[in-house]
Amino acid sequence: MTSGNIQLLSETLAKAKAENRAALIAYLPAGFPTVDGGIAAIKAVFDGGADVVEVGLPHSDPVLDGPVIQTADDIALRGGVKIADVMRTVKEAHAATGKPVLVMTYWNPIDRYGIERFTEELAAAGGAGCILPDLPVQESAVWREHADKHGLATVFVVAPSSKDERLATITAAGSGFVYAASLMGVTGTRESVGEQAADLVRRTRATSGLPVCVGLGVSNATQAKEVAAFADGVIVGSAFVQRILDADGDEAAGLAAVRELAGELAAGVRRVS
């Protein structure tokens, strides 16, 4: 039985901590702008300095995603992206870089595909785990059993609205890291990532030894530095997607743009204030 790369994910986050910095976690959807183009973009982001990449599984009704990622998902879906393409994206990105690659997906596609099949294929592809923003912890036992069996992390999302007792329940069930949504609402770039996020990280850490990584709203090196001051990881998605959209079909320009942004953000998470 193949085993996934939860260990690699944990080691990568621990290494960043040992270097007295936050990890840079990038998000890009599979199949955007094409399957091959998406794989190339992930390699470029790793090349620029990302520590971990989340591969989005495009979904027609993405409740957590703002307009930028919805646009990218729509392009991927119209291009005919399938779960097999997501697995191939994970496999090729990990094989080329040796770095941890997770899948971020809503629950419905996994449920339809089959939990055992999905976890087995993700582990075989070298995946490190899954981020599951809409899977309630109390309904996650079967998923977690299969994920554990295949060496995959189960990353749950916590929000500023999560009460302390709820945080403890979520963090006890999760593995790899905790995804702290910096604000109520959907993904997208924001002017400020703010105090809500710092408070959420503090409250989450009080319940768990897992690394706490902050996403939603970080788009530049200044914000990355701000979040890196209190979080174990900084998650950036929409800003990378926007760079590819702005390249308007020029693949070389898009790859150069995401590589450059990764470099700026990687410098941001390393700046000790």
Tell me which residues are annotated as active site: 54, 65
| Nearest of 76, 74, 71, 4 to residue 36 by alpha carbon | 76
CB atoms within 10 A of CB 161: 10
Cα 151 to the center of its chain, rounded Å: 17
* C-alpha distances in Å from residue 87, one per residue of 24, 57, 130, 159: 22, 10, 12, 28
Which helix H or strand E contains 78, and what residues bound it?
A: helix 67-78
Q: At how many degrees (to 10) do helices 238-246 and 67-78 cross? A: 60
The answer to whether the CB of 221 falls within 8 A of the CB of 264 is: yes
The answer to whether the CB of 241 falls within 8 A of the CB of 69 is: yes
What is the DSSP secondary structure assignment for residue 22, as one 8-state letter?
P
Q: The tokens of 58 are what?
A: 């495009």
CB atoms within 10 A of CB 165: 9
